[in-house]
Amino acid sequence: MQDLLYFFQQLINGLTIGSTYALIAIGYTMVYGIIGMINFAHGEIYMIGAYTALIAITGLATLGIAWLPLVLLVALICAVIVSSSMGWAVERVAYRPVRGRHRLIPLISAIGMSIFLQNYVHLAQGSRNIGFPALIEGSFRMGPENTFQLSISYMQITIFIITLVCMTALSLFISRSRTGRACRAVSQDLGMASLLGIDTNRIISATFVIGAALAAVAGLLLGMYYGSVDPLFGFIAGLKAFTAAVLGGIGSIPGAMLGGLILGVAESMTSGYLSGEYKDVVAFSLLILILLFKPTGLLGKPEVEKI
Amino acid sequence: MAAENIKHAFFCAVITLIIAYPILGLNLIPSGAVVSLEGADGSTIAAIIAAAVVVFLFQLFRDSIMARLGFLSRVNPLSGREPMPQHKRARLESWLLTGIIVLALFWPFFVSRGSVDLATLVLIYIMLALGLNVVVGLAGLLDLGYVAFYAVGAYTFALLSQYTGISFWMSLPIGACLAALFGLVLGFPVLRLRGDYLAIVTLGFGEIIRILLNNWTHLTGGPNGIGGIPEPTLFGMEFGRRIKEEGNTSFHETFGIAYASEHKVIFLYLIALVLAVITALVIRRFMRMPVGRAWEALREDEIAARSLGLSRTAVKLSAFTIGAFFAGFAGTVFASKQGFISPESFVFLESAIILAIVVLGGMGSQIGVILAAIAVTILPELAREFSDYRMLVFGAAMVLMMVWRPQGLLPMRRIHIELKDQG
């Protein structure tokens, strides 16, 4: 019974982290699906989202506003606006001019952008990690007293609800709306879509904006969950989310969701049963193994090499 | 059209404000557990507004500004110049190189200890950048975990000297070969991957090595690192004031000169110089050998190269292994120079700096890479008050280079034979 509770605890922790990884991973997978490049700066956009949310929360606290739903909503909106603008600008400045060149060129440009953004925040806000106030406290507890208890914090429940809402909204947007349909068309065949009168530049910008918005949501949630942010916050999370995207099959949105959850669970099982230090090793090893043995991922389509 | 332009320019200016104001204009001040918010000073706010205005004006007059810029490149006096004939250029280049090397040999005896130390660091970066240049520049394989091989070299020397008391000279080939072996073992499975996947996998590998070094405490000392790494000796002569090891003599006693701490620094510099020259010459040979041509062929067009009978795995693996070998070289020198190593020296940032050197110098071009290594290492030292901005500038420079000049500042020139005009 104890073991089972412990297992479920790890599972819930893993699913919490995993669902936020999935939010970030969607940004990678959508961009990859459309223009076939790895947006290396995506982790930094997520980090900027977390910082903006913290700035908004602190600002509201200074003004004396403490009603939780309002604080969360304002923080979320601010983070989404700033991160989306950042995503749009990054695409415009660093990716659009090099689109269609040799594969390494956009990637190096993205790495440069990532270093730039990291140091931009580092210079503006300092390199120390800054504490994120715990807005949502308390938890459900299950199991007998005085022994190991299964606990689900309200924060974890908030994370589940918000990620679920975001993913449903995204799925509806992609499947139903006019822009969503255009997104799917462009990801299937960019040239053909533009021949049929779709403004592909606009759609690519939209992809970056959507991905950045979801990353900002994840930034707020993970910032609150971990309790602190620092300028390097985005690097590892970005790498993990990329792993999740590859795991699920890069280019596929349901794949990114699935991959995020699997990666989160794998990580929390490692830190629960082995050691917390090796959870990053597990994530990267998983990435290497997937790329070696099933590069298309779980739900991806094989890429046909055209000559 | 004009209205459209104004709308777009206004939109861009607003985006600039949104991006810049919250992060730059509002500073989070942590004091204990409480975080407070503080507005930035007036000059920062003014700078943000000025940036928005500049973006607005640039977007508004974008077309005419771009037309002007096109005119600028036409008045460049060097653009219409005839390239120097091949044989003349080659001769000039070899004279220049010999001159530089001779100068570099005698230079440390006339300058301060600090600048020799810095020059040694520059030479280590030159070795690293030349090695990575083989992988990224020539073979076109983006390796973001290059620092892992550097770490293997450094840790091999540190551990061997700690546990077996082996000397620098024995450790140099062992470290380099072990790094090459790591490259081979890692490369074998991952080189089938496409370019961008390869980048991420090597990045993951670099992180794995660093985490292992950090956590394998009883072997590597974990975050505390390993200290007391011995300095190299010259034919059994030590450079310290006292002899540390049985059977060695000391340099100053053998030659009957006064002890000076500079001797050690200069000796290390000369070792690094010789190794860097060897690295450059060996790689230069490789570039002219069939395997070097195969690297470039595979980079330019993989399908064509394969259909001409090149083995993709063998060619890529050779580039990867050779690159790793020289990183191991550099790592051994680095460990010996510092006398102390810890996983802190082998973070991703280090890989990014080396990559930035290769990209700025011009992928594939040796001279360019060497000049870029010198510039990237020395400029932050010269402008210390701007050293915080170093990585910011690197990041921006990498983006700008990719947008405007992806071939680098001094692009590679292919060795070729010109046919006499038949006409």
pLDDT in tens, A70-106: 889 999 999 999 999 999 999 998 998 888 887 778 8
Residue whose token pair is 């011009």: B362
Helices of type H across chain A? 2-35, 42-63, 68-90, 104-125, 154-176, 178-188, 190-195, 200-226, 233-248, 253-273, 279-293
pLDDT digits (tens, 9 = 90+) for A123-135: 888 888 888 887 7
> Would you say residue B17 lies in a domain?
yes
Q: Which of residues 48-77 of A touch B (CB under 8 A)?
A: 48, 51-52, 54-56, 58-59, 62
A97 in contact with chain B, both atoms CB, cutoff 8 A:
yes
**CB contact residues (below 8 A), chain A span 22-51, against chain B:** 37-38, 48, 51
For residues B137 and B9, state if they share a domain: no
Q: Is B193 in the same domain as B130?
A: yes
Q: What is the count of residue pairs from A and B with beta carbons less than 8 Å apart? A: 177
Q: What is the pLDDT of residue A261?
A: 92
Contact at 8 Å (CB) between B138 and B292? yes
Q: Is the per-residue pLDDT at A149 higher than 90?
A: no
What does the CA dihedral A10, A16, A20, A23 come to, rounded to 10 degrees?
110
Do residues B112 and B65 both lie within one domain? no
B187 lies in the same domain as B44? no
Sign of CA dihedral B309, B310, B312, B317: positive
Q: Is B24 within a domain?
A: yes
Distance CA B112, CA B116 (A): 7
Whether residue B249 is found in the same domain as residue B364: yes
C-beta atoms of A118 and B391 within 8 A: yes
Hunting for tokens 């689900």 — which residue is that? A152
* Whether residue B334 is found in the same domain as residue B248: yes
Q: Which of A52, A116, A275 is the closest to B392 by Cβ?
A: A116
Task: For residue A151, give how far its alpha carbon lies from the nearest alpha carbon of chain B (Å).
Answer: 25
Which residues of chain A are within 8 Å of residue B35 when distances are taken between CB atoms?
54, 58, 130-131, 133
Q: Which two tokens stand for residue B113?
A: 């200890």
**Looking at residue B137, what DSSP letter applies?**
I
On whether the CB atoms of residues B70 and B239 are closer than 8 A, the answer is no
Residue ranges of chain B with per-residue pLDDT less than 50: none
Is position B209 within any domain? Answer: yes
- Within 8 A of B211 by CB-CB distance, chain A residues are 277-278, 280-281
Q: Cα(B159)–Cα(B162) distance, rounded to whole angstroms?
A: 5
Same domain, B381 and B262: yes
Smallest CA–CA distance, residue B198 to chain A, in Å, is 9
pLDDT on residue B246: 60
Tokens found for residue B350: 């280090």
Number of domains in chain B: 2
Domain ranges of chain A: 17-127+154-293
* pLDDT at residue B417 in the model: 62
Query: Within 10 Å of residue B395's Cβ, how many Cβ atoms?
Result: 25
Classify residue B340 by its DSSP letter. -
List, for residues A229-267, the tens digit of each pLDDT value.
Answer: 888 888 888 888 988 888 888 888 888 899 999 999 998
Q: Identify which has the larger pLDDT, A2 or B131.
A: B131
Q: How far apart are CA A162 and CA A83, in angstroms?
A: 17
**Segment 190-229 of chain A within 8 Å of chain B by CB:** none
Same domain, B101 and B56: no
Domain membership of residue B409 (yes or no) is no
Name the residue among A59, A124, A133 with its Cβ closest to that of B24: A124
Q: B163 and B69: one domain?
A: no
The CATH architecture one would assign to domain A17-127+154-293 is Orthogonal Bundle (1.10)
pLDDT band at A3 (very low <50, low <70, confident <90, very high): confident
**Cα separation, A193 vs A186, whole angstroms:** 5
Whether residues B51 and B118 fall in one domain:
no
Question: How far is residue B38's CA from residue A17's CA, in Å, rounded to a whole number?
Answer: 32
Residue A307 has pLDDT above 90, yes or no: no
Structural domain for B50, as ranges: 2-73
- Per-residue pLDDT reduced to its tens digit, B102-142: 888 877 777 787 888 888 899 999 999 999 999 988 888 88
Question: Is A239 in contact with B204 (Cβ distance < 8 A)?
Answer: yes
- For the four alpha carbons of B130, B136, B141 and B142, in that order, the dihedral sign comes to positive
Min Cα separation B191/chain A (Å) = 10
For residues B51 and B141, state if they share a domain: no
C-alpha to C-alpha distance for B209 and B72, rounded to whole angstroms: 48
Statement to judge: residues B261 and B330 lie in one domain: yes
Which CATH number fits the domain that encloses residue B240?
1.10.3470
Q: How far is A180 from chain B (nearest CA, A)?
A: 23
Q: Is the dihedral of CA A221, A226, A232, A235 positive or negative?
A: negative
Span B70-100, pLDDT tens digits? 666 655 555 555 666 667 777 887 788 788 8
**Which of B395, B401, B402 has the CB atom closest to A115's CB atom?**
B395
- Is residue B418 one of the residues assigned to a domain? no
